[in-house]
Amino acid sequence: MKALQGATVLVTRPRRQAAGLAGLLRRSGARVRFAPTVRTAPAKSRAALDRALRDLDGFDIAVFTSVNGVAAFFSRARKLLRKKPPRPRGLWAIGPATAAALARHGWDGSRIPPAFTGEALAEAMEREGLRGRSVLIPRAAAGRDLLPLALRRAGARVVVAPAYSVAPDPAARRAVRDAAAAPRVDWITFTSPSTVEGFLEAGGEGLLRRAKAAAIGPVTAEALRRRGIEPAVTAARHTAEGLARAMSRWAAPETPDSLQATLLDALHEGGAMLRKYWGKARWGYKGRANLITEADHASEARILDVILGRYPRHGFITEERSPRRVDSDYVWTIDPLDGTTNYAHRNPVCCVSIGLSKKGRPFAAGVYDPFRDETFLARRGCGAFLNGEPIRVSEVRDLRESLLLTGFAYDRAERSRFYLEYYRRFMELSHDVRRSGSAALDLAWTAAGMVDGFWEFKLSPWDVAAGWLLVTEAGGRVTDFSGREWSRHADMGAQTLATNGKLHGQMLRVLA
Which runs of E-coded beta strand occur in 1-124? 8-11, 31-34, 38-42, 61-64, 90-93
What pLDDT score does 497 carry?
96
pLDDT at 91 over 50: yes
409-450 confidence digits (pLDDT tens): 777 667 788 888 988 999 999 999 999 999 999 999 999 999
Among the ranges given (147-151, 275-279, 325-329, 478-482), the one the predictor scored with the smallest mean pLDDT: 325-329
Q: How far apart are CA 277 and CA 294, in angstroms?
A: 8
Sign of CA dihedral 29, 33, 37, 41: positive
What pLDDT score does 410 carry?
73
Rama region for 292: left / alpha / beta (φ>0; ψ in -120 to 50; rest) = beta
pLDDT at 359 over 80: yes
218-277 confidence digits (pLDDT tens): 889 889 988 988 888 888 778 889 899 888 877 667 889 989 999 999 999 999 999 988
What pLDDT score does 415 carry?
78
> If you average pLDDT over every residue of the chain, what do you get?
90
236-252 confidence digits (pLDDT tens): 778 889 899 888 877 66
Residue 325 φ then ψ, to 5°: -105, 115
325-339 confidence digits (pLDDT tens): 767 889 999 999 999
Domains and CATH numbers, the chain: 8-37+169-251 (3.40.50.10090), 41-168 (3.40.50.10090), 256-390 (3.30.540.10), 399-511 (3.40.190.80)
pLDDT at 350 over 80: yes
Confidence of residue 83 (pLDDT cuts 50, 70, 90): confident
What pLDDT score does 284 carry?
52
Mean pLDDT across 362-366: 97
pTM, two decimals, is: 0.64
What pLDDT score does 292 carry?
55
Confidence of residue 363 (pLDDT cuts 50, 70, 90): very high
pLDDT at 213 over 80: yes
Mean pLDDT across 50-72: 94
What pLDDT score does 288 carry?
42
Mean pLDDT across 463-488: 94
Residue 179, C-beta contacts closer than 8 angstroms, at least 6 positions apart:
10, 33, 35, 185, 204, 207
Q: Return the percentage of the chain with pLDDT > 70, whole number.
A: 96
